[in-house]
Amino acid sequence: MGTLEFNGQHYPDGRASDPGELGWMRGAPPPEDKRIAFESGNYRDFPQIRWSFSHMRELMPTLNVWRGRGAPSQFERSDMSAEIDALTFADMGGRIRRFEDALFDTYADGVVVLHRGRIVYERYFGALQPHLPHECQSCTKSYTGTLAAVLLHEGVLDESRLISHYLPELRGTAWEDATLRQVMDMQTGLAFREDYVDESSDIWAYRRAFGRLPRPSGYDGPRNSCDYLRTVRKQGMHGEFAYQSLNTQVLAWVMMRATGRSFVQLLQERLWAPLGCEEDGYVEVDPAGMPTAEGGLSATLRDFARFGEMMRCQGEWHGKQIVPESVVRDVQQGGRPAKLESGYSYRSQWWVSHNELSSFEARGIHGQRLYVAPKAEMVVALFASHPIADGAGDSITMPQLLALGRVLSA
Amino acid sequence: MGTLEFNGQHYPDGRASDPGELGWMRGAPPPEDKRIAFESGNYRDFPQIRWSFSHMRELMPTLNVWRGRGAPSQFERSDMSAEIDALTFADMGGRIRRFEDALFDTYADGVVVLHRGRIVYERYFGALQPHLPHECQSCTKSYTGTLAAVLLHEGVLDESRLISHYLPELRGTAWEDATLRQVMDMQTGLAFREDYVDESSDIWAYRRAFGRLPRPSGYDGPRNSCDYLRTVRKQGMHGEFAYQSLNTQVLAWVMMRATGRSFVQLLQERLWAPLGCEEDGYVEVDPAGMPTAEGGLSATLRDFARFGEMMRCQGEWHGKQIVPESVVRDVQQGGRPAKLESGYSYRSQWWVSHNELSSFEARGIHGQRLYVAPKAEMVVALFASHPIADGAGDSITMPQLLALGRVLSA
């Protein structure tokens, strides 16, 4: 048990912040000082997120992503736990760490490692259990982007079209003259500030409008996601990379308008059912019935891994082509510019590493990650509840997963 | 298409109020005048309930009732649709009706009829689909009562104990000197008025405290179910039948305290998993994490029918004793007094008819019903969204199910 320091503040580490040990939401009813609630807003505080990320549906309304009636698909297993736990690597600060210890130091809630499609490592920590869906945060975007790319491939959507073609109600907003491709690749100029640490930044206002954050009394802002999106104006030019979550929400809105299907139906029909997911997923929903598509999907760790494994196998899953091969290839080739400051590029809502493993990744705040590494024949599905939202644990997780990939590809 | 009259008001009938036809919650986003939302409170208006009873989780936070990992149990089928649809009977007003027409006139959302365990009839209307859980309303109570009776049988609970023995925090309330059995059989004297038509009655205040109804701005009442229950005082004597939903909430609270398990865990471990339910169920949850147990369970129609069939078979399900036979026998023998005004008696949260089919029933407002008729080897699971909450459609449904039972037992 110990503490860790981030930005000059001390936090209990992964072991010490275990929500079961701390008694969060235990008892009937839980003691007042151990309650996690939407109203009070404490569900997004640390260490409460160590519980709430596995219990989002208990805090807010949700849309079900039905798995369908088929039997769940099965994973073969070949256990490498001991070997992987003992693996050592140097983090970005040069400190040598054991794989297992690094999980506690990055507040992992669960990890599944697939090698050649087999589960070689599977661990759960804190409040997470194998059958419990966990908040994917912005990894949700990679689901949305993949579905959009499939619809492009099918000709249902046209990437060169302007958003206002699909959504006339966005005329006069930042998206009026943005193409669908610009939205998919986060290349829009929006007068919108997304800072998860600064509660005065626009993303917080958006989430209050959506209903994912409690509204102060007397609140008179927009009361659902579409009404909020209509208020966003252009700033600068389209065509340069700028990570803005609202683009993904617009993307899902376009998909729903063009197909006449809801986002959860698309997830179900295109991914959950064909992948043989084990459990239903769910998505947070706004007061007008619109789903979150930029965050807010909850899935079990294994179902998250299934999505990654299908992407690793060029869209194929257990002998069936679920996503066109060309869609996956296009993601893997990366976006433009070919290298952002981080060394990554961004394509269709995926982060593309251009590293020695050719990994591409779904990434979410607080440490969510789906790491698809074709050259290592590896997929890592990782859920976490790190106290720091942005880039949480990256200086550990990035070299950790690269080291694991090197071992598995050796 | 037509209208029906209740209490001097005209309502579109079952066909004319189909939420799909009316466009409720269709579109991305739905047009403003077709939205059903928690905030506005219109989710509990008619005809909106024809949609919302199949979509409660999209309106409020919920706890999952996990079905577990097993394959769903299967029903054999022998279709009697044509025969049953054409069945005629006289309603309580003496009017001759066809079975199928009566379903539309009582706003049925779905019906499953089991005869000797086989599905002989299965219909879905309006917003309900086979995989969608529907609000069970007070049929939830029969789940709660059955679980409590099982715990009595196992000696985990003692029916002669006072509630304050289990829940010391209810000292000073109406339940201080009520026995567990009195609570199970609705024999308490509470200063509490339960009138689903009169919004000034106490049940509305309770639901606002729970969070199942929107709270007016400036609301300063209790903010969760337990805090509300602590405010309820005794009125009159315990020992006489008085239907009060709060008793069921107290009963579930006792069960949770005594077992250290949550209500949803008990539902899962004792019923959902052993019955091989097809889909997860869910339960509405208050801001302190406490579940509804007096209403607020949503289950699929077939899973609802599974529960009834197990009760018909004296607690046995597919060769396994899930609920002790003596528990079911005790329910069937009925409560005291042996005959209430309606001719029914009430035992362990079930309505016992003492009719020629020896039927006993779970009953919920707006027409929910699980009708277990041992002498006809019949179970009818019925979900509805009748415009009138109390006794909705009883004058049709009661003779309808009796007539069906007579045919099946002939």
Confidence of residue A342 (pLDDT cuts 50, 70, 90): confident
Q: Min CA distance, A39 vs chain B (Å)?
A: 8
Q: Which of B25, B62, B69 shows the shortest C-beta gap to A57? A: B62
3-state secondary structure string across B366-383: HHEEEEEEHHHCEEEEEE
Q: Which of B36, B61, B256 shows the shortest C-beta gap to A57? A: B61
Whether A37 and B280 lie within 8 Å, measured CB to CB: no
- CA separation for the pair A235, A251 (Å, rounded): 19
Q: Min CA distance, A339 vs chain B (Å)?
A: 36
Report chain B residues whose CB lies below 8 A from the CB of A217.
217
- Residues near A122 by Cβ (< 8 Å), separated by ≥ 6? A110, A111, A112, A113, A130, A301, A302
Binding-site residues on chain B for chain A (CB distance < 8 A)? 25, 28-30, 35-39, 57-64, 66, 69, 71, 131, 217, 223-224, 226, 253, 256-257, 262, 278, 280, 285, 287-290
In the predicted model, what is the mean pLDDT of chain B? Answer: 97
Whether A29 and B61 lie within 8 Å, measured CB to CB: no
pLDDT value at B294 more than 80: yes
In three-state secondary structure terms, B173 is: coil
Specify the pLDDT at position A337.
84
Residue of B nearest to A32 (CA): B288
- CA separation for the pair B148, B249 (Å, rounded): 12
Q: Which of B51, B58, B131, B208 to mutate to test the interface with A (most CBs of A within 10 A)?
A: B58
Please tell me chain A's helix, strand, coil percentages from 3-state DSSP, rounded to the nearest 5. Answer: 35, 20, 45
Cβ neighbours of A130 (radius 10 Å): 14
Report chain A residues whose CB lies below 8 A from the CB of B60.
61
| Residue B290 dihedral angles phi and psi, to the nearest 5° | -90, 140
Q: How far is CA B103 from the centre of its chain?
A: 18
pLDDT, mean of residues B24-30: 97
For residue B338, give the H/E element and its range: none
In the predicted model, what is the mean pLDDT of chain A? Answer: 97
Domain boundaries, given as residue ranges, for chain B: 16-52, 100-409
Q: Are B42 and B50 in contact (CB under 8 A)?
A: no
Q: What is the pLDDT of residues A126-156, one digit of tens each?
A: 999 999 999 999 999 999 999 999 999 999 9
pLDDT, mean of residues A183-197: 95
pLDDT, mean of residues B40-65: 97
Report chain A residues whose CB lies below 8 A from the CB of B280.
280
Whether B28 and A253 lie within 8 Å, measured CB to CB: yes
Confidence of residue B322 (pLDDT cuts 50, 70, 90): very high
Specify the pLDDT at position B217.
86
Q: H helices within A260-366, ranges in order?
A: 263-267, 301-312, 325-333
Confidence of residue A321 (pLDDT cuts 50, 70, 90): very high
pLDDT value at A375 more than 70: yes
Cβ neighbours of B45 (radius 10 Å): 12
Q: Are B343 and B354 in contact (CB under 8 A)?
A: yes
Q: Min CA distance, B206 vs chain A (Å)?
A: 17
- CA separation for the pair B20, B13 (Å, rounded): 14
Q: What is the ipTM of this complex?
A: 0.96
- CA separation for the pair A213, A204 (Å, rounded): 8
- Residues near A31 by Cβ (< 8 Å), separated by ≥ 6? A23
Q: Min CA distance, A14 vs chain B (Å)?
A: 24
Residue of B nearest to A166 (CA): B28
DSSP B83: H
pLDDT value at A1 more than 80: no
Confidence of residue A175 (pLDDT cuts 50, 70, 90): very high
Q: Min CA distance, A224 vs chain B (Å)?
A: 10
Q: How many CB pairs under 8 A join A and B?
A: 80
Both tokens of B52, joined, read: 């919302």
Q: Are B133 and B300 in contact (CB under 8 A)?
A: yes
- CA separation for the pair B3, B47 (Å, rounded): 12
What is the percentage of chain A residues whose pLDDT exceeds 70? 100
Q: Are B273 and B68 in contact (CB under 8 A)?
A: yes
Both tokens of A38, joined, read: 């939407």
Crossing angle for the helix pair A245-259 and A202-210, to the nearest 10 degrees:
40
For residue B3, give the H/E element and its range: strand B3-6
Q: Are B50 and B109 in contact (CB under 8 A)?
A: yes
Q: Are A137 and A196 in contact (CB under 8 A)?
A: no
Place of tokens 């339910």: B277
Specify the pLDDT at position B197.
84
Specify the pLDDT at position B277.
98
Specify the pLDDT at position B1.
64
Whether B29 and A59 lie within 8 Å, measured CB to CB: no
**CATH code for residues B100-409:** 3.40.710.10
Q: Which of A40, A48, A56, A62 to mutate to test the interface with B (most CBs of B within 10 A)?
A: A62
Q: Min CA distance, B88 vs chain A (Å)?
A: 36
pLDDT value at A313 more than 80: yes
Q: What is the pLDDT of residues A40-83, one digit of tens each?
A: 999 999 999 999 999 999 999 999 999 999 999 999 999 999 99
What is the percentage of chain A residues whose pLDDT exceeds 90? 95
Report chain A residues whose CB lies below 8 A from the CB of B290.
28-29
